[in-house]
Structure 1
Amino acid sequence: MQNIKLPELGLVCITASNQVRYRALTRKRLLQFNDAEQAQLLRQLYQDNLQRLNKALDFCVDNEIKLYRVTSAIFPFADTPVGEAVLDEFNEELRLTGDRAKNLGIRIVVHPDQFVVLSSDNPDVIENSIKILAMQAMIFDKLGLERSPWAMMEIHGGKSDRSERLISVIRDLPDAIRTRLALENDEYAYSAQEILEVCHAAKVPMVFDAHHHVIHEHLDTYEHPSVAEILTAARTTWPVPEWQLVHISNGEAEFGDRHHSDLITTMPTCYRDAPWIEVEAKLKEQAIQKLREEWLMVAPTKVAATV
């Protein structure tokens, strides 16, 4: 009997329980202190969050999760001179953590925030966006993660009707960013077809989000033929087809609601062919477990004992 490879379901940042959480710090609070005090504050925060990243890896191992989207705010202000100098103090520990993730077979990716807009009309916005991506790339380099879409840094297209600018900016990005970059279709600015074309032109992978697609195209089902068609087309943008990663979410109040629901109750049939799926639901690990039991129909794992 032929073995069928089931999709790997990924955890996004934190758990619904308090098992995976990270500390945060606002710029307003940081600026209340002098440089030495800022360094000490960041040192303790980075230490704590690095430990919490390792706890996240523990959680993934315990619950047989092979895909983890780390929060983009794990080391806040690492793009400042003080923050970067402090993060350098953790180089050895960071590499050990990255090596541990590799040895455990856990794929780590990141989704920088909405302020990253490479297609903006404002050069300052583009410059700041590249600075944010450079910080994420620096963190991934310190973790020893591959400069490839396996260790993906994924963003949206940003400003609509600016495809040529987006392609041009991507082509000129430093290798540490460009080799990991992927683009996702969104609900309003860039359709799945538009992002697919940009990805082919810029030679970066496409992350297909079926829920964004149905909202953008005003569809009332994931079974519309275009969902399967774009899933297949997006796979051609990945240098290794088996690395293809997609997103799934459900609407909270109704099918076409852009706000995420607690659990995933509706899946595109074609997603059975998606190798890696990030589960974007409010109840996180509970949503993963529900999909395993009801959609993938595999034996319950340890997730059930943690929720």
Structure 2
Amino acid sequence: MKKPLPELGLVCITCGPEVRYRTMTLARYKQFSEAEQRSRLSDLYQSNLNMLLFALDYVHQQGWKLYRVTANLFPLSDLEDGLGKSILLEMQDQLSEVGKKALQLGVRVGVHPDQFVVLSSESEKVIQNSVQHLEHHGWVMDLLGLPRSAWSFMNIHGGKGGRGFKLVETIHTLSDSVKSRLTLENDEKTYSARDIFEACIAAGVPMVFDAHHHVVKEKLPSLSDPSIEQWVKLSRETWPDPSWQVVHLSSGKEGIHDSRHHDLITDFPEALWDVPWIEVEAKAKETAIQGLMAALKAQGR
């Protein structure tokens, strides 16, 4: 009997024109009067909400069940002037349709906040800003009607090296809106799979294992290295429901130890056949997922 294929996920946008989001810089925002700021943000937020609802339909139509929404879904909505936030509050009935549609279509939604989120920084100001950023994401995910659980994960990296204790300490201060969704991912430079695993156990949050980061960090000869299977299994133990486990898959642009992402997935680790959910981090986006899905179906099990 063949095993079911892993569920593959799209990261934010498509290579083609199908899924694209609008944005606005702070500099441009400041050029307008308050009335114009409100008008332009309202139009932008409505446009991006419509695109997110369309993206869920698109993912579903492709036969996928996982979607990472852009971290910049509602630009400038966390400014101190509170204007963007007030607009989102006015839209909350519409925003909640996202969670309803995701549930109806069976599409899982997560987010990967910006890289400047560093909960382990030596600077208390950086930590404070990072926490505020995550709390805003949690607030938006609540408005979108997404569940407060790792099903709707909010994935971040470890940050400053050698300060796993501070990472864990900061996570314990987060609100339920954030901590209930938070996941940690290993990286290719600072936090190894073991480092992140230990932080996840101490903080009580799930681990997103990235096989490519692991190969680069440990300078492994191939994706067949036994440690990949080891960390797939160990990271699964950190999830409240093992069937929710998410891993990341990518290929090096110019070889296995190139941290840059290839357009496509050039190799599929044997250990990932048993993983339930895979975010495909490839520059060719939907083309890469379609190619990988076809290859997996042809190989079968």
Short-chain TM bin = over 0.9
Looking at structure 1, the residues matched to 182 and 240 of structure 2 have their Cα atoms a distance apart, in angstroms, of: 12
Question: Which deviations, in whole Å up to 9, do the C-alpha atoms of 1:115-157 show, x marking residues without a partner?
Answer: 1000001011111111111111111101111110000000000
Say if 2:140 is the partner of 1:135. Answer: no
Shift of 1:298: 8.0
Whether the aligned pair in 2 keeps the contact of 1:292 and 1:298 (CA below 8 Å) is no
Shift of 1:36: 2.0
TM-score, length-scaled by structure 1: 0.95
Q: How does 1:37-52 map to 2 (within 5 A)?
A: 37-52=36-51
Task: Say what the alpha-carbon RMSD is for the aligned residues.
Answer: 1.2
Aligned to 2:74: 75
Looking at structure 2, the residues matched to 298 and 252 of structure 1 have their Cα atoms a distance apart, in angstroms, of: 24
State which drifts further: 127-136 or 43-52.
127-136
| Distance 1:296-1:209 versus aligned 2 partners, 3 A rule | farther
Whether the aligned pair in 2 keeps the contact of 1:98 and 1:144 (CA below 8 Å) is yes
State which drifts further: 32-41 or 110-119.
32-41
Shift of 1:278: 0.2
Aligned to 1:252: 253
Q: How does 1:2-81 map to 2 (within 5 A)?
A: 2=1, 4-80=3-79, 81=82
Secondary structure of residue in 1 paired with 2:68: strand
| Deviation >2 Å, runs of 4+ | 2-5, 295-299
Question: Which deviations, in whole Å up to 9, do the C-alpha atoms of 1:140-187 show, x marking residues without a partner?
Answer: 101111110000000000000001000000011111000100000000
Aligned to 2:229: 228
Aligned to 2:266: 265
Looking at structure 2, the residues matched to 228 and 105 of structure 1 have their Cα atoms a distance apart, in angstroms, of: 28
Looking at structure 2, the residues matched to 97 and 170 of structure 1 have their Cα atoms a distance apart, in angstroms, of: 27
Percent of residue pairs bearing the same amino acid type: 49
Secondary structure of residue in 2 paired with 1:155: strand
Question: Which deviations, in whole Å up to 9, do the C-alpha atoms of 1:12-50 show, x marking residues without a partner?
Answer: 000111100000111110111122221111100000001
Letter in 2 for 1:201: A
Shift of 1:97: 2.1
Whether the aligned pair in 2 keeps the contact of 1:153 and 1:180 (CA below 8 Å) is yes
Secondary structure of residue in 1 paired with 2:184: strand
Aligned to 2:166: 165
Question: Which deviations, in whole Å up to 9, do the C-alpha atoms of 1:79-101 show, x marking residues without a partner?
Answer: 12011001111101111122011
Question: Which deviations, in whole Å up to 9, do the C-alpha atoms of 1:260-299 show, x marking residues without a partner?
Answer: 0000010110100110000000111111111111124389
Secondary structure of residue in 2 paired with 1:297: helix
Whether the aligned pair in 2 keeps the contact of 1:171 and 1:202 (CA below 8 Å) is yes
Aligned to 1:112: 113
Aligned to 1:285: 286
Letter in 1 for 2:221: D
Shift of 1:248: 0.5
Looking at structure 2, the residues matched to 227 and 26 of structure 1 have their Cα atoms a distance apart, in angstroms, of: 40
Whether the aligned pair in 2 keeps the contact of 1:7 and 1:274 (CA below 8 Å) is yes
Letter in 2 for 1:28: A
Q: How does 1:79-98 map to 2 (within 5 A)?
A: 79-80=78-79, 81-98=82-99
Shift of 1:67: 0.1
Looking at structure 1, the residues matched to 205 and 62 of structure 2 have their Cα atoms a distance apart, in angstroms, of: 31
